[in-house]
Amino acid sequence: MLILGTLPSRASRAAGFYYGHPRNRFWPLMARLAGAEAPAPEDISGKKALLRALDVALWDVAAGCEIAGSSDASIRNVRANDLEPLLAARPALRVCANGATAGRLYRLHCEPRTGRECLVLPSTSPANAAWTLPRLVEAWRAGIVVDNNKKFIV
């Protein structure tokens, strides 16, 4: 499964890895979807290990753009990442967007070239405060399936 964000936030860039804002629910969500009893990993090596265990890849729709701070609503002049080689090499890879903006940008900039649809899931961003972690887990679990080997499948 490939999970696409818009592009890394300031906090993620400072942390040197995806979903680095301390209030972003992405890592607690992944841990819960994996059935982990322990809290979500805090260090990059633990996060990478969790992604490998789930067979999940992370990337962003935008390789670059104009943005004010970390506000997705301010994104302009998107230069999209080239997802075609990855998706061509992995025809069974399920493409998912972490939030409506990532989904909209994918559909606008990537889907016409890749021909692959994208499942849009509710954003894990702290700006999406109406969605609690339990609601996110329920929605993401309904959109994806986790098998007994802890691999995401569709």
Produce one character per residue of 37-46: b if its CB has 16 or more CB atoms within 10 Å, e if not: eeebbeeeee
Greater model confidence, 112 or 71: 112
Q: What is the pLDDT of residues 113-138, one digit of tens each?
A: 999 999 999 999 998 999 999 999 99
DSSP letters, 128-152, are -TTS-HHHHHHHHHHHSEE-TTS-E
Instruction: Give the count of alpha carbons within 13 A of 148, CB side only.
Output: 0
11-62 residue pLDDT tens: 888 898 999 999 999 999 999 998 877 689 999 999 999 999 888 999 999 9
pTM, rounded to two decimals: 0.88
Structural contact between residues 31 and 40, judged by C-beta atoms closer than 8 angstroms:
yes
State yes or no: pLDDT of 104 exceeds 70. yes
d(CA 16, CA 138): 29
Using a pLDDT cut of 70, give the percent of the chain over it: 90
Single-letter amino acid code for the residue at 105: L
Token duo for residue 73: 């609503």
Question: What's the pLDDT at 154?
Answer: 42
What domains appear along the chain, each with residue ranges and CATH number? 2-153 (3.40.470.10)
Mean pLDDT of 73-99: 90
Q: Does 151 have pLDDT greater than 60? A: no
Q: What is the average pLDDT score of the chain?
A: 87
